[in-house]
Structure 1
Amino acid sequence: MSRYVSSKWKKTLALLKDNQLRTIIPTTVRFNEKNLDTMLKKHAMLYVKPEIGSFGHGVIRIEKHRKHFQYQSKEKIYKFKTFPLMYAALKKTIGKRSYLIQTGIELLKHQKHAFDLRVMVQINPNQQWEATGIIGRVAAPNKIVTNYHSGGTPKPLEPLLSPYLSKADLRKKTVELNQIGIRTGKAMQRKFAGVCELGVDIGLDGERKPWIFEVNTSPDRYIFKKHPNKAIFRKIMSYAKAYEARMKRKKK
C-alpha cells in the first residue's frame, strides 16, 4: 500500500517547499479567530476544512458581504450581522477538531454547477511518477464540495473544459495538469518516503489558472471506473497492483 499521510497541514507544508507549486496553492493557515479575521479582510470567500478528514466532510464555506457574514455547512446557510457572532457559531459547529482556513477560489462551472479536477498520479513500473488519469467532479446542487462521496458527478475533462478552451488550448491544459500532478508526486515523496499514489484535486479559476486544493495519499481509484476511456482505470489498477506487490516482497 502507498504510505498514507492524514494531515492536510503537513501535506501543504511539503508542497510549499516547491517553488513552482507554491504559486498555485491558495493561502492556507491554521484556523483561529485572529487568522480568520485577517483572511476575511483580504478575501470575500474562504473555505475552512478539517485538518484530518476525507470525502469533503466537515468543509465549510465562509463569505463576507457588505452588510453581513455567512457560512454554509452542508446545504444550510447561516447569516450573522457581525464577525464575532459568526465566529462564535462557527466555533460551536467545528468543536475541538483542528481546522485549516484556505482562500476561496471561484471555480469554473458546468451547467451552473462548480467543478474541479482529480488528477491521479502513480509510481509506474519504471519507478517514475506518471499521471495516469484526470476526471472532473461536478458539485451537486446547493453543495459546496465536489467530492463523489458527497454527491458530486464524475465527468470527463473534455466536456467540462471545451466551453472555455479551444482544442489546442485544451491539449496544453491537459499537459499542464499532468505536469502539476507529477511535480506534486515528487514534492510529496521528498517529504514522505513510501508515497506511491496521489489524487491531486485541482480547480480552475476564471482565468483558467489551476489551483491545488488538496492532495490525497489514499485516493479513490474507483471514480475512474466512471471514465468513458476504460483503459485509464485498467492502467490505474495495474500500477496499484504492481507497487503493492513490490511492497509485499520488500516486507518478506
Structure 2
Amino acid sequence: MSAKQVQSGQSKWYKTQLLLKNNTIHPFIPDTRKFTKHNLKQMIHSYGMIYVKPERGTYGNGVIRAERGERQGYAYQYEETLRQFDTFEAFHNSLAKKIGKRSYLVQKGIHLLKHNGRRFDIRVMVQLSPKGVWEATGIIGRLGHPRKIVTNYHSGGKPTAVEQLLSTHLSAQQLMHLKGELNRLGIRIAAQMQKTYPHHRQFGVDIGLDRTLKPWIIEVNMNPDPYIFNQLKDKSMYRRVMRYRRLGLTK
C-alpha cells in the first residue's frame, strides 16, 4: 500500500465517500459533512443531536457530542465536560476555538441503545479467509464509560458479549437474525473497501444501533485491535480472529 493510500485510509471523510458509492451500504451511513459554520447550523437544527469528530484520529480522541436544547439553547460535551450556550454564535465560536485549524466533520447523531444506562455500539471484525473470501470472524459489544460519549476501550469502554448487551432488547431469535445482518453488512463494507485497498486483509466495522434497532456505520477501522476479543470469557472468537490475522501477516 502506498503512503498516499495509508494517509487516505486514516481519513474518515475519504472512507465515507468510498462507502457512499455502494447503494446497498448507503442507507446505513449517517449524514456526514465537513465542519463549517453553515453545516453545523443546518445539521444541529435538522437532527437536534450531532457528533463533531476529527477527520483523522483514533480511540475516539477529540470526539464532541453536541445538542440543541428544547428551549433553543445549545450544548456540547467533550470527554466529561459539558458546556452550555444561549446562542448559536456563542456555541459555534466555542467549538471553532476548540477545533482550531484541525479538519473536523459533523455527523448526524445516533441515539445509541443503552445497557444499564450506558451507551454501547458493536464491532464486527471482517477478515479474508484462507480461501480469499471475506468472513465476519468476530462480533463484540463495546459498553461506554458512564460519563463518556465514546465507547472505545482506551476511553474506558468495556468489551462485552453482544448477547449480554442485547438480551433486554431482543429475543434469542431476533438476536441471531440481527447478528447475521450485521455480519453481512460488515462483509459488504470490506468488499467495497477492497476495491481501493486490494492488499488489505482485515477491517473493523463499528456499528451503532438506534432505538429502532436500525444499524448505522460509525466508522471503518483499517487496523482493528484483535485483542479486545480476548476480553470475552469464551475465547473461541479470539482464537479465530488471531488465526486469520496471523495468516494475513504471513502473506
TM-score of the aligned structures, taking structure 1 as reference length:
0.95
Identify unmatched segments of 5+ residues in structure 2: none
Kindly indicate whether structure 1 or structure 2 has the higher relative contact order, using CA contacts under 8 Å at least 6 residues apart: 1
Runs of at least 4 residues off by over 2 Å:
none
Residue in structure 1 matching 2:114, options 92, 109, 123: 109
In the alignment, the residues of structure 1 paired with residue 98 and residue 245 of structure 2 have an alpha-carbon distance, to the nearest angstrom, of 38
- Per the TM alignment, residue 96 of structure 1 is displaced from its structure 2 partner at its CA by 0.9
In the alignment, the residues of structure 2 paired with residue 62 and residue 216 of structure 1 have an alpha-carbon distance, to the nearest angstrom, of 24
1:249 paired residue number: none
- Per the TM alignment, residue 193 of structure 1 is displaced from its structure 2 partner at its CA by 2.1
Matched letter for residue 201 of structure 1: D
Matched letter for residue 91 of structure 2: M
Which aligned pairs between 1:134-145 and structure 2 lie closer than 5 A? 134-145=139-150
Does 2:67 align with 1:66?
no
Identify unmatched segments of 5+ residues in structure 1: 247-252
Matched letter for residue 23 of structure 1: P
Aligned length: 245
- Per the TM alignment, residue 214 of structure 1 is displaced from its structure 2 partner at its CA by 0.4
Cα deviation 1:86-131 (Å, max 9, x = unaligned): 1111011111110111100111100000100011001111111110
Matched letter for residue 225 of structure 2: D
Cα deviation 1:46-102 (Å, max 9, x = unaligned): 001110000000000010013310010111001011111111110111111101111
Residue in structure 2 matching 1:151, options 133, 140, 156: 156
In the alignment, the residues of structure 2 paired with residue 86 and residue 210 of structure 1 have an alpha-carbon distance, to the nearest angstrom, of 30
Does 2:60 align with 1:38?
no
What is the SS of the residue equivalent to 1:23? helix
2:21 paired residue number: 17
Cα deviation 1:127-158 (Å, max 9, x = unaligned): 11110001101111110000011000111010
Residue in structure 2 matching 1:174, options 167, 179, 201: 179
Matched letter for residue 79 of structure 1: Q
2:58 paired residue number: 54
In the alignment, the residues of structure 2 paired with residue 243 and residue 174 of structure 1 have an alpha-carbon distance, to the nearest angstrom, of 25
What is the SS of the residue equivalent to 1:47? strand
In the alignment, the residues of structure 1 paired with residue 233 and residue 180 of structure 2 have an alpha-carbon distance, to the nearest angstrom, of 19
1:94 paired residue number: 99
